[in-house]
Amino acid sequence: MPGATGGQSVGGARMGTDAEGALRAVRSLVELDETEEAAQLYEELGASQRERLRKQAAQGPAKERRGLVEVLRRARDFLGAARLMDGSGDDAAAADLYVQSGQYMEAAEAWLRAGDSERAAAAFERGGALERALEVYRGLGARESMAQCLVRLKRLFDAADLYRELGQPHAEVEALGGVTPEDPRYIEAVLRMCRLLDVEGFTHQALAVLVDALASSEVARSEPAMVTERARLLRRMGMNAEAEAVLGRRNATSATPVANGYRFLKAIPIFSELTLEDMKDLYRQARQVVLAQDSVVLEKGEPGVGLIVLLEGTVDVFSGPEADARQLNSLGPGAYLGEISLVQDAPVSAHVRARTAVRALRISRVAFEHYLDTHEAAALRIYRLFTQNLAERVRALST
């Protein structure tokens, strides 16, 4: 019987027949669409045998290549499967396989061939080819992604200029904050940060930036423009010139500045294990939003809008939008909403309304997904902590 013959061949291969017999057995199983058995046998082959089989398949008919691709996928030889897919006309599928194998450069090139420039750019960025990513993002007109690449390339003034064009002052400040005292344009960066922070209402923080620069750089201490800016900021805070001598001691006890959201964002449990650089990159994804009193912040049953972190004002959480809906909670600065919508496509479970005017940070799901795509280590930490926190919530509800 044909079935018995095939079984004996496979059994013989597994019992240690010659390499040619094993290769023929795999190819026979592929022809018979016995994908799972073929995958198991492929896993038992030596590295040289597997390479030989892939080379033979690459020169064979398209049907055989397609069959072996599925076998390799089942055996988790994603790189081998991707290389067999090259030239098949399905570059997008090859790109996905390259990603699964961790070969982001090859994935990016495959996505370019498939015409998906956006995913190609993200793969270049993820693979560390930042100049290539920047080039593709520029072609797409994706200025925000360009700015993020420029930050990673340490082209901080270029990044800051783009963030200014995009109307994102907090990201502009973050980019300029990476300029070191050794940079010839350090003074320019400090003064620009101070003016930005002051305009945004963070005069206290602007003064702290200036004082830190004066303490860390001899060049800064000898720059007249820095002294002038320090005096201006002190006047803005209602402090006279004589207070300059004791400013360093008074910084810790002076009025608390308006929160800029970074520390609130950092305090969210699913971000608690991010490195400083990953946390800064995430903060640059946030956008400030202002909501009027009595406006709807989140509407029950509607798709989530992403993460919202409250900076100023108060919101009320209700069981629904009805006038007689039960009030569940009231939240103020530092509270956050919608973190589940960052990773799960689920409707909003409560109705949230602004009791007062509200200023908040928002990270959309699209921006967050791009962040995860380009920050692999951070993504793993976030998903693990998200799963843990979700499990803890379920346990709390069940007790």
Q: Domains, the chain, ranges and CATH?
A: 2-104 (no CATH), 140-250 (1.25.40.10), 262-398 (2.60.120.10)
Q: Tell me which of 16-20, 175-179, 182-186, 206-210 is least confident.
A: 16-20
- DSSP, residue by residue, 290-313: EE-TT-EEE-TTSBP--EEEEEES
- Structure confidence at residue 20 (pLDDT): 62
Residue 14: the pLDDT is 40
Q: Looking at residue 247, what is its pLDDT?
A: 38
Taking the C-alpha atoms of residue 187 and residue 217, their distance in angstroms, rounded to an integer, is 9
Whether 126 shows a pLDDT value over 60: the answer reads yes
- What pLDDT is stored for residue 103 in this prediction? 95
> In this predicted structure, what is the pLDDT of residue 290?
87
Q: What is the pTM of this model?
A: 0.67
Q: Does residue 31 register a pLDDT over 60?
A: yes
Q: Radius of gyration over alpha carbons of the chain, in Å?
A: 29
**What pLDDT is stored for residue 3 in this prediction?**
41
Please compute the mean of the pLDDT values over residues 243-262 and round it to a whole number: 48
Q: What does pLDDT average to over the chain?
A: 84
pLDDT, average across residues 261-282? 92
Give Cα 390 to chain centroid, integer Å: 20
Max Cα–Cα distance, the chain, nearest Å: 102
Compute the Cα dihedral for 373, 377, 378, 381 and give only its sign: positive
Report the pLDDT averaged over residues 381-396.
81
Residue 135, number of CB atoms within 10 A of its CB: 14
pLDDT of residue 253: 36
- Indicate whether 192 pLDDT > 90: yes
For residue 282, give both structure tokens. 């995430």
- In this prediction, residues 356-361 reach a mean pLDDT of 91
Mean pLDDT of 2-6: 40
Least-confidence region, from 88-92, 161-165, 221-225, 348-352: 221-225
DSSP state, residue 350: S
Tokens encoding 153: 């390339």
- Region 342-356: mean pLDDT is 89
- Of 3-7, 94-98, 134-138, 200-204, the range with the lowest mean pLDDT is 3-7
DSSP string, 96-138: HHHHHTT-HHHHHHHHHHHT-HHHHHHHHHHTT-HHHHHHHHH
Euclidean distance between CA atoms 393 and 397, whole angstroms = 6
